[in-house]
């Protein structure tokens, strides 16, 4: 579980594929950096590699907002309303060392 205002670890995104939010206030959850995500991708990372994860907001009345860590762009709706979930689809757009980039939709 990711508590309020924390950075999700890559294991939550790539292995568990779920982030739970249950804080008593609206919060922003930041992804790991693109460099950390690319390094954690299975095998040799390549442009176009994808992964998905679920952001499940179990808070009764507060929102959870996904923000991108360094090199990660969140495109489209990033706010998950109370008592709802949203699946994010992410794609590697650059896997070159020191220039890694990921976009999440």
Write down the domain spans for the chain: 10-104
The predicted structure's pLDDT at residue 9: 66
Q: What is the pLDDT of residue 12?
A: 67
Residue 75 is predicted with a pLDDT of 97
Task: Report residue 19: phi and psi, to 5°.
Answer: -125, 130
Q: pTM of this prediction?
A: 0.85
Instruction: Report, as ranges of residue numbers, the positions in the chain whose pLDDT lies below 70.
Output: 1-12, 16
Q: DSSP letters of the chain?
A: -PPTT-BPPHHIIIII-EEEE--SS-EEEEPPPHHHHHHHSSSS--TT-EEEEEEEE--SS--EEEE--TTEEE-S--EE-TTEEEEEEEEEEE-STT--EEEE-
What is the model's pLDDT at position 1? 45
């Amino acid at each position: 579980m990711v508590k309020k205002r924390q950075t999700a670890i890559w294991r939550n995104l790539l292995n568990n594929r779920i982030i739970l939010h249950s804080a008593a206030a609206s919060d922003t959850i930041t992804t790991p950096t693109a460099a950390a995500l690319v390094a954690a991708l299975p095998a040799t990372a390549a442009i176009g590699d994808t992964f998905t994860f679920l952001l499940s907001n179990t808070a009764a009345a507060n929102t959870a907002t996904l923000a991108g860590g360094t090199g990660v762009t969140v495109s489209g709706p990033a706010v998950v309303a109370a008592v709802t979930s949203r699946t994010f689809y992410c794609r590697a757009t650059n896997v070159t060392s020191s220039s890694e980039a990921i976009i999440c939709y």
